[in-house]
Structure 1
Amino acid sequence: MKLSCYNIFVEKNGNIVGLNTMKNNYVLLSKNKYQELLNHSEDLFEFASQNEKIYDTLIDHGFIIPNDRNELNELRLCNKEVSFNRHYDLTIIPSLDCNLKCWYCWETHIPNSQMSNEVMDRIRKHVSLELAHNNIDSLSLEWFGGEPLLYFNEVTYPLVSSIKNLLDANKKSFKTSFITNGVLIDKPMLEKFKELNPKFQITLDGYKEKHNKVRVSKSGGEGTYNRIVDNLYLITEMLNDTHIRIRINYDDNTLKNIEELVLDLNDLDRSKVSIHLERVWQTSKGNKPDNKLLHDTIMLLTANEFSVDYGNFIPRYNSCKTDRYRQAGINYDGRVFKCTGRPFIPENSDGELAETGEIIWNRDRLANRIGRSTFELDMCLSCKMLPMCVGPCSQKCLERDWKNMENQCTLKTLEMSIEDFVVFSFNNLYSTDKLKAEYCNSN
């Protein structure tokens, strides 16, 4: 037996927190037991003879593995399996128009753009073809924009309902989610949502005063904070099977009065919401491991029993869903894109949706994107965070022709040390009762 390549150990309050990134498991060791483990790392059976319970726990949690196990090759295998499995990630952009004008939005909004009935029919044919050819076992349908709820009754609801019916008729799993600013949500809309069990991502730009300077109405320029917060409560009250990822976009000033936001969200059902912290990329200044405001914000949120995620580190086998073969983003005009994080302009298009419902892919672009795993880079192959990162996204790799990728390392965007990140993740999972870490200080 040997120690996993993907163990990270960090001191916390006089004990040692261990994270195995391969299995996303934690253990809590006393310093003495941790030192014993290190002392016997070349002969773990000696450690086992004195610490049977701890030894078994470390095996169960992935910290100790068989000598002949090659974890990197396991990751490579899982990456291939997930990249070409039978789950379909489909994103639909019903419009590139939006009701807000946030200063940092990278999209080129097209006023009055709306998906036509013809494109809607082609999408239905496309899903029907995938089912008829028995290509898929499940489908996750994401709605993006622009603002995807802008033409809810004309496009979004009729289309999502018909796609759900197709999946249900074929006894296939169906899930849907909406990346929305949340302003247009109301009770009649939520009544229709009840049959869909949707998930949401809704963004706030910090506390009320800050938010209302950023996320303003395009029509009148008024703030949207109260409306969005009210709708967060409305969603959790009206929908039983839902989850809202509340994304807090922040810059160097956003987090200074975060207590006000926490108070406004305090009565939300914690089982239906989580909070994601994301820096506005235009304000990024590179790695800032001493961001005390961010650290204090995370501590405040977890102290108030919110589940918090920060940093793009979650157990997975693809860096991004666009690295998968069965994934597509269909724009309102019928153009098809793999990456939905770049402008929806002709030169970025990866294919078109034909009248038959078939996607006519640009095979060269497709091969260049998914023909090589994103983590086959020297900096990734030697990194202990590899199983929770899987390298830069394929879009960034393509834009740089897979060269000089060091500055695209996800760790460089982390505004805390990796040690602090491990402790934060441990505290977050443990305090929200999602994980019961083993405290291995004795037999």
Structure 2
Amino acid sequence: MKYSQFNSIIPYNDQFALYNAFEDKVIFLENDLKELLIAGKNEGIDELETIHPSFYKYLNENKFLIENDVNEVEKVREVATKVDEQEAMFQLTINPTMNCNFKCWYCYEDHIKASRLKSTMVIKVNKFITKKLQDESIKYFHVGFFGGEPLLYFKKNVIPIIDHLAEEGANYDKEFGINFTSNGYLINQDFVDYFHGKNLSCNLQITLDGYREEHDKVRFVSKTKGSYFEIVNNIKLLIRNGFHVRLRINYTSKNLRDTFKIIDDFSDVDLKYIKKNLIVDYHRVWQDDAVDDIDIILNQNMEIIKSKGFNVTGTFSANNVLNSCYADKRNSAVINYNGDLYKCTARDFNKESRNGFIDSEGELIWDDGYVEKRMKSKLHNKPCLSCRIMPLCNGGCSQHAMENLENEEGYCVYAFDETQKDKVIYAKITDIIKEAV
């Protein structure tokens, strides 16, 4: 037998936790057992069977110990391939425009004022949707509207696509889903009435940049008019009408402290709508990456929000193999307003970065060999192959892998910081405990 590569021993409250990242299992150890296990790992794990047979048997049965001939890395690859090569679902992201009604300081995108889907492009997109719904292997089709602000030209550019999806979904008896990533300012009663009138539903991710004053410093209509209350009122309109909203709080070290107060502005909404239709999701702005004690402040805010009956997330609990990025999957594509194709929405949508185009017949024409190159890019990074959290991290996403193909020294999304890896494991253990309660 051998000690699994994916085992980690970390302090957890007043105990030590042994966690296996592939099995997603944890056991808690007293110090004596922890020392015994470390000694066995270093001197020969089979010696543990003689010293403490019941402990050895438990570790074996729960796969903290595995057979010597097991290739653990290959097992991770097999799971990742099964997830990313699935054929039953297709995930399409559409940028109806790259224009936006705000200019947030952290936004990585170029705002192109004249950009929008032309009617000819809508026809191409609809042809593609029909082709995919005709495919017998596709059981579920998901359309996400991104941008830019996807609601800028909702009636002219988005509704024709949703109408077509709904009609063809019914024709071919296929399930489908719709979501928007929006700043929320343009939501109105007409938006709600459209979906209700079509007997459709959609999910939305809507962002706030902190509480009231902090938010309005980032997102404002004019020097004298902010956007905070308009967006909050629009979210309330949505959740009262059965729309599921992920309220993403983009936080920094400067705007985090008072974010718990945001929920006070939902005090006039029945808690049943809050519990059913709203998730508060904290997300640190990536440019704000200073090493600090911000996690303490984050947890304090989250606990206050949770105590008021709200659903809240924010502690990063990685699961990037079983729940890999949409761009890692073969059955995914991003269509820009001009017909350019991409896989990832977290990079610039310029001609130099495009990966293909959609043709007049609604076929996706990928650059020669691009998709295969991307699908084969992951889990070949040398540091990943010996990493204890490989089944959780997955070496980052395929975008990370593609951008590091020429990096002979290898890369680590946690900057080779074992303390950061311990934090990932700590979050996974906390999840296991919560689910068991």
Query: TM-score with structure 1 length normalisation?
Result: 0.83
Q: 1:117/1:373 Cα in 2 relative to 1: closer, same or farther (>3 Å)?
A: same
CA–CA distance in structure 1, aligned partners of residues 52 and 171 of structure 2: 54
**1:289-438 to 2 correspondences below 5 Å:** 291-302=292-303, 304-305=305-306, 306-311=311-316, 313-317=318-322, 320-370=325-375, 372-403=376-407, 409-412=412-415, 417-427=420-430, 430-431=433-434, 435-436=435-436
**One-letter code aligned to 1:14:** D
CA–CA distance in structure 1, aligned partners of residues 209 and 125 of structure 2: 34
Deviates more, 1:130-139 or 1:333-342: 130-139
Q: Percent identity?
A: 29
Q: 1:27/1:178 Cα in 2 relative to 1: closer, same or farther (>3 Å)?
A: farther
| 1:89–1:327 contact (8 Å) kept in structure 2 | yes
- The question of 1:232 aligning with 2:235 is answered yes
1:123 shift after superposition: 1.2
CA–CA distance in structure 2, aligned partners of residues 264 and 341 of structure 1: 31
Q: 1:429/1:175 Cα in 2 relative to 1: closer, same or farther (>3 Å)?
A: farther
**One-letter code aligned to 2:85:** F
- The question of 1:5 aligning with 2:5 is answered yes
**One-letter code aligned to 2:378:** T
**One-letter code aligned to 2:154:** F
CA–CA distance in structure 2, aligned partners of residues 252 and 414 of structure 1: 21
1:17 shift after superposition: 3.4
Q: 1:402/1:243 Cα in 2 relative to 1: closer, same or farther (>3 Å)?
A: farther
**One-letter code aligned to 1:182:** G
Q: Which runs of 5+ in 1 are unaligned?
A: 438-443
| 1:319–1:374 contact (8 Å) kept in structure 2 | no
The secondary structure found in structure 2 opposite 1:129 is helix
1:159 to 161, 170, 195: 161
CA–CA distance in structure 1, aligned partners of residues 108 and 354 of structure 2: 17
Match of 2:287 in 1: 282
1:358 shift after superposition: 0.8
**1:122-133 to 2 correspondences below 5 Å:** 122-133=124-135
Q: 1:234/1:337 Cα in 2 relative to 1: closer, same or farther (>3 Å)?
A: same
Q: 1:168/1:381 Cα in 2 relative to 1: closer, same or farther (>3 Å)?
A: farther
Q: 1:428/1:392 Cα in 2 relative to 1: closer, same or farther (>3 Å)?
A: closer
CA–CA distance in structure 1, aligned partners of residues 418 and 39 of structure 2: 33
How far does the alpha carbon of each residue in 1:410-443 deviate from its partner, in whole angstroms, 9 at most, with x for none?
Answer: 2239997433443344445645xxx117xxxxxx
The secondary structure found in structure 2 opposite 1:307 is strand
**1:170-319 to 2 correspondences below 5 Å:** 170-194=172-196, 195-217=199-221, 222-239=225-242, 243-261=244-262, 263-264=264-265, 269-285=274-290, 288=291, 291-302=292-303, 304-305=305-306, 306-311=311-316, 313-317=318-322
| 2:320–2:396 contact (8 Å) kept in structure 1 | no
| 2:5–2:386 contact (8 Å) kept in structure 1 | no
How far does the alpha carbon of each residue in 1:38-67 deviate from its partner, in whole angstroms, 9 at most, with x for none?
Answer: 566624766885369x938x846x545555
**Count of equivalent residues:** 422
Q: 1:9/1:311 Cα in 2 relative to 1: closer, same or farther (>3 Å)?
A: same
The secondary structure found in structure 2 opposite 1:74 is helix
**One-letter code aligned to 2:234:** N
Query: TM-score with structure 2 length normalisation?
Result: 0.84
1:177 shift after superposition: 1.7
Query: More relative contact order in 1 or in 2 (CA 8 Å, sep 6+)?
Result: 1
- The question of 1:90 aligning with 2:92 is answered yes
**One-letter code aligned to 1:185:** I
Q: 1:29/1:234 Cα in 2 relative to 1: closer, same or farther (>3 Å)?
A: farther
1:346 shift after superposition: 1.5
Q: 1:48/1:221 Cα in 2 relative to 1: closer, same or farther (>3 Å)?
A: farther
CA–CA distance in structure 2, aligned partners of residues 130 and 347 of structure 1: 28
Q: Which runs of 5+ in 2 are unaligned?
A: none
Deviates more, 1:378-387 or 1:392-401: 392-401
CA–CA distance in structure 1, aligned partners of residues 430 and 255 of structure 2: 23
Deviates more, 1:90-99 or 1:194-203: 194-203
Two-structure CA RMSD over aligned residues (Å)? 3.3
1:140 shift after superposition: 2.1
The secondary structure found in structure 2 opposite 1:409 is coil
CA–CA distance in structure 2, aligned partners of residues 378 and 348 of structure 1: 26
Q: 1:22/1:200 Cα in 2 relative to 1: closer, same or farther (>3 Å)?
A: farther
1:317 shift after superposition: 4.8
**1:92-171 to 2 correspondences below 5 Å:** 92-171=94-173
Q: 1:271/1:380 Cα in 2 relative to 1: closer, same or farther (>3 Å)?
A: farther
Q: 1:29/1:232 Cα in 2 relative to 1: closer, same or farther (>3 Å)?
A: farther
Q: 1:45/1:136 Cα in 2 relative to 1: closer, same or farther (>3 Å)?
A: farther
CA–CA distance in structure 2, aligned partners of residues 350 and 13 of structure 1: 48
The secondary structure found in structure 1 opposite 2:207 is strand
**One-letter code aligned to 1:100:** F
Match of 1:440 in 2: none
The secondary structure found in structure 1 opposite 2:314 is strand
1:176 shift after superposition: 2.1
1:331 shift after superposition: 1.1
| 2:129–2:165 contact (8 Å) kept in structure 1 | yes
How far does the alpha carbon of each residue in 1:81-110 deviate from its partner, in whole angstroms, 9 at most, with x for none?
Answer: 233221212101111111112122121112
Q: 1:132/1:25 Cα in 2 relative to 1: closer, same or farther (>3 Å)?
A: same
| 2:395–2:401 contact (8 Å) kept in structure 1 | no
The secondary structure found in structure 1 opposite 2:239 is helix
CA–CA distance in structure 1, aligned partners of residues 97 and 385 of structure 2: 40
The secondary structure found in structure 2 opposite 1:202 is strand
| 2:79–2:321 contact (8 Å) kept in structure 1 | no
